Amino acid sequence: MTAPRTADRVAIVTGGSRGIGRQTAARLADDGFAVVVNYASNKVEADAAVEDLERAGARAIAFQADVADEVAVASMFDQAESTFGGVDVVVHAAGIMPLAPLVDLDLDVLDRVLRTNVRGTFVVDQQAARRLRPGGAIINFSSSLTRFSRPGYTAYGASKGAVEAITLILARELRGRDITVNTVAPGPTATALFLDGKSDELITRIAGESPLGRLGQPADLAEIVAFLAGPGRWINGQVLYANGGAI
């Protein structure tokens, strides 16, 4: 299996305007990828991400799309193809994480989590499976919470368990296409999604669970994605738990 030259490759990064997605977009751009920065609503953040990429010499555009909306996602792929000539790598980092014990969880919130995290993965992966060029890679995001099993994360953990199942099955459905499909499952990572609403004491305690004694950083995850998008061609149909050894 031989991937195209990196300088000719194009990546779509969902949730690419902030956190792990934004760091991943920058890391792929460093490897010569043209990048489509997908965002849900915050145009200011997305435009800032694109400006940073362009200042670093990368080709980049922003595209607003609800990842669970198949029409919007198809339009995003259309734009990537018309602007850059095709798509080689899809990094699906978009997701939401409202917290509540199962007994207290508003079912409307559950529906929203499943729509974004599960249907969103299905919609994005479906377009990727239809459109990626040979030598391509689909990289989804789950969470080490599928193993940590922390109270309060029932909806989020359930949605990420579904992402892992989608990944493992899709890798086998794409037999013969020379496209890899993997999931990265971060542990606690210093992003707004994780840090919001947590006390300093709680953050310190969680950071200490890793033998490395710290939270993950978005750059830690971006390096793993870059490997899967580039030289890591023999890794396929896997869930990579990236949590500093906390489990």
Residues designated as active site: 156
Question: 236 burial class (0-12, 13-18, 19+ CB within 10 angstroms)?
Answer: middle
176: phi > 0 → left, psi -120 to 50 → alpha, else beta; which? Answer: left
Task: Supply the DSSP string of 42-74, one letter for each residue.
Answer: -HHHHHHHHHHHHHTT--EEEEE--TT-HHHHH
Tell me which residue has tokens 């037999």.
175
φ, ψ at 192 (rounded to 5°) = -60, -35
Pick from 6, 49, 7: which is nearest to 25 by CA? Answer: 49
Question: 229 burial class (0-12, 13-18, 19+ CB within 10 angstroms)?
Answer: buried
CA 148 to chain centre: 19
Which residue spans within the chain are E strands per DSSP?
10-14, 34-39, 60-64, 89-92, 137-141, 180-186, 238-242
Pick from 151, 153, 131, 134: which is nearest to 142 by CA? Answer: 153
d(CA 79, CA 76): 5
d(CA 145, CA 154): 9
